[in-house]
Amino acid sequence: MVELLIGKKGSGKTKALIEKVNAASSVASGDVVFICKDLSSIYDIKSKVRMCETHDFGFASYRDMLFFINGIISSNYDITNIFIDGIFKIIGTDSLDGAEEFFDALQSLSSKYNVSFVVSVSIDADAAPEYIKALA
């Protein structure tokens, strides 16, 4: 399953994502991962959750992010949930070039490895393309 939390910047997506992360960590049968640009939310996330800060990795595309996620999954087959806070912040652009393929690849990973993904995307819901609205 891939779920997107969409809304304009400052609309409360990170807070909602953190609530989902903490809820998942309480009931998940496996490991929960939280991927973020920086560790500003570290005190809001339960200590059981594996936090991955991406600031120093220099992602420049959705493809870079996909490789990173593949690496996380390949190193731990017990992961059941991956949460990504601010995909645009992480890859350094709000361009949607490659976004549809990225979300399709997440769907494939979800099916293949039984991992649920929740991704926050700073985009106006009214202006979002249909493939993003379908996942929201």
Distance between CA 89 and CA 74 in Å, rounded? 24
pLDDT-derived band at 127, boundaries 50, 70, 90: confident
The rounded mean pLDDT for the chain is 93
Q: What is the per-residue pLDDT for 9? A: 86
Average pLDDT over residues 127-135: 90
Task: Give the global pTM.
Answer: 0.93
∠ CA 30-35-38, nearest 5°, is 140
Task: Say if residues 113 and 5 touch (Cβ distance below 8 Å).
Answer: no
Work out the pLDDT band at 43, boundaries 50, 70, 90: confident
Question: Which pLDDT does position 94 carry in this prediction?
Answer: 86
> Are the beta carbons of 99 and 4 closer than 8 angstroms?
no
Q: Which CATH class is domain 2-123?
A: alpha beta
Sheet with 50-53: list strands edge to edge: 2-7, 116-122, 79-84, 31-36, 50-53
